[in-house]
Amino acid sequence: MTATLIFAIFVVGWEVFWWMAGVRPIGPLRLKRMLQGSGGDKPFLVDVRTAAEFKLFHIDGAQNQPGLLFDPGSLDSPDKDRPLVVVCLSGHRSPVVGARLKKQGFKKVYYLSWGMLAWIVSGGRVKRH
């Protein structure tokens, strides 16, 4: 019981911390709806996992940018108003990168809550190399 309570507090605290940093969590179902949009409403997907992880499986259309974890200034996007969704395996690397990108001037920054694990469990399609 105590371990469950501590875990729940950690999970809620994690989400609240990044929310306050300006990076919003997005669930896989909402991301699927956003990806069906068009033009400026369709999010730019940035996958910050390693190249090896990315090759195993990734969301179609995602751009692999593992270096963003160390150098957020390396992302070159002309439209900083377009929604930007950062993806990792479990949702622990992506909010860190998202917060750094927010400081670079990106306005609508999200991270995929629970990462690719949640995407796959929710039936999200993946592309493999």
Q: Which residue has the tokens 């993946």?
A: 126
The 3-state secondary structure of 87-128, one letter per residue: ECCCCCCHHHHHHHHHHCCCCCEEEECCHHHHHHHCCCCCEC
115 φ, ψ (degrees, to nearest 5) = 60, -150
pLDDT digits (tens, 9 = 90+) for 14-42: 566 555 667 999 999 999 999 998 777 89
Q: What is the mean pLDDT of residues 75-90?
A: 91
Q: Is residue 86 a contact partner of residue 48, using CB atoms and an 8 Å limit?
A: yes
The pTM assigned to this predicted structure is: 0.86
Q: Is residue 81 a contact partner of residue 107, using CB atoms and an 8 Å limit?
A: yes
Question: pLDDT band for position 11 (50/70/90)?
Answer: low
Domain at 2-121: CATH architecture? 3-Layer(aba) Sandwich (3.40)
Per-residue tokens: 87: 């993806």
